[in-house]
Amino acid sequence: MTTTAIEVRGVDKYFGRFQALDKLDLTVPTGQVAGFLGPNGSGKSTTIRVLLGLIRADAGSVRLLGGDPWKDAVTLHRRLAYVPGDVTLWPNLTGGQAIDLLGRLRGGLDPARKKDLLSRFELDPTKKARTYSKGNRQKVALVAALASDAELLVLDEPTSGLDPLMEAVFTECVLEARARGRTVLLSSHILSEVEKLCDTVTIIRKGRAVESGTLADLRHLTRSTVRATVSGDARALEGSEGVHNLRVDGDTVAFDVDDTHMDAALRTLTGLGVRSLVSNPPSLEELFMRHYGDELAALNGNGGAAA
């Protein structure tokens, strides 16, 4: 058994003149849940289609479960299950028929688990697919994927049509899959979902991975937010190295600090007589905003960085 389920190195993909992937790197260790983050149009689905051997990379190397996804597509696909971001089904098949069919095309599915998933996702399998809403079509693909015994689950924005209750069911199901030793690639732009589920995260922008590692690694590289109530004059922190965005309001102070300078900042702070202190690690949202902040700023029409 390989220890990396997915290994993408320097992959380029062009559609005509448009470059969808630009020397993309992506590694997913076996048995982990890997988050794949990026806004719409950043190349997430293109990467997944390359991984599934549906389109061919123009340059670079791709290994999936130890094989070449383009050449060995059929044998590799017996070992994986895929949920597309926008599920379209056969209008005249019922949900239950589509689930069984997909299971059979993959080489089998566990009927007991299918039954369990249908009730947890509250999906009526006797309805024709044309009558399903987007969320219900997504449930069909999710049940088919989760009821299979695939080693690798490739999920492309799987919760975009689900309500919060169903999102919670989905979260449980992914955690159970990991507990069974499955590998999961979860593409998403919902940060809280990735934060809850993923061991590692890759952030992609314009077809290029701009950040990747464990959540802890990523946080280490960055800033935390500190909020404190002090007796002394907090302006003493002004100009300290690594302190950003200092706001003083009476005896309350809030600032962001680079994790490498946290120690020095706290020493200064304790010298001022701390009465209360809250320090938050950066949320994934903040990490994300740092990479996309300039786009956001441009949208908001102000020049300042968002983080």
Partner 1 sequence: MSAFTGTGTLVRFILRRDRVRLTVWVLALAGTVFATVPTLNDMFSTEAQRQARAAIMDTPTGVVFGGPGYGLDDYRLGPMVVNELTMSVLIALAVMSILHVVRHTRAEEETGRAELLRAAVLGRGAQVTAALVTVSLVNLLIGGLTALALAGNGLEAADSVAYGLGLALAGISFGALTAVCAQVTEHGRGAAGLAFLVLGVLFMARVVGDMAEEGGTWPSWLSPFAWVQQTRVFHDLRWWPLLPYAVLIAALFALTYALAGRRDLGAGLVASRPGPAGAGRLLNGTFALHLHQQRGSVLAWSAATFLFALSFGSLATEVEGLLTENPDLVAMLGEQGANPVEGFLGVMSGYVLMAATAYAVLSVLRTRTEETSGRAELTLSAAVGQVRWFGNALLVSVLSSTLIVVLGGVGMGLSAAAALEDSSWVGTMTGAALAQLPVALLFAALAALLVGAAPRLIPLVWAWLGYSLLVSMLGPVLGLDEWLLNLSAFDLLPKLPGEEFELLPVALALAAVVAANALALAGFRRRDLATV
Q: Which residues bind partner 1 (CB under 8 A)?
A: 15, 45-46, 49, 52, 54-56, 73-75, 77-78, 80-82, 84, 86-94, 96-102, 104-107, 124-128, 130-131, 141, 154
How many whole angstroms separate alpha carbon 168 and alpha carbon 166? 5
Nearer CB in complex with partner 1: 78/196: 78
- CB of 45: closest distance to partner 1 in angstroms? 7
Question: Strand locations in the chain, DSSP E?
Answer: 4-15, 18-29, 33-37, 59-64, 80-83, 152-156, 183-188, 200-205, 208-214, 223-230, 243-249, 252-258, 274-280
**DSSP letter assigned to residue 53:** T
* Of 57, 60, 75, 69, the residue nearest 6 (C-alpha): 69
Per-residue tokens: 214: 């464990």
Nearer to partner 1, 77 or 178 (CB): 77
CA distances from 122 to 11, 118, 169 (A): 40, 6, 10
Q: List Cβ neighbours of 130 (8 Å cut-off, separation of 6 or more).
A: 91, 92
Beta carbon of residue 6, minimum distance to partner 1 (angstroms, whole number): 15
Please provide the size of the chain in residues: 307
Give Cα separations from 241 to 60, 238, 279 (angstroms). Answer: 41, 9, 18
Six token digits for residue 164: 């919060």
Q: Residue 137 CB, nearest distance to partner 1 (Å)?
A: 10
Report yes or no: 191 and 283 within 8 Å, Cβ to Cβ: yes
Q: How far is the CB of 157 from partner 1 (least distance, A)?
A: 13
For partner 1, the closer of residues 34 and 102 by Cβ is: 102
Nearer to partner 1, 34 or 83 (CB): 83
- Separation of alpha carbons 119 and 122, rounded Å: 5
State in angstroms the smallest separation of the CB of 229 from partner 1: 52
Nearer to partner 1 by Cβ, of 104 and 235: the residue is: 104
Closer by beta carbon to partner 1, 149 or else 251: 149
Q: Rounded to a whole number, what is the distance in angstroms from the first to the last CA of the chain?
A: 42
- By beta-carbon proximity to partner 1, the closer residue of 114 and 205 is 114
Task: Pick between residue 105 and residue 175 the one whose CB is nearest to partner 1.
Answer: 105
Q: How far is the CB of 54 from partner 1 (least distance, A)?
A: 4
What is d(CA 283, CA 289) in angstroms, rounded to the nearest whole number? 10
Least Å from the CB of residue 89 to partner 1: 7
Taking the complex as a whole, the smallest distance from the CB of residue 73 to partner 1 amounts, in Å, to 7
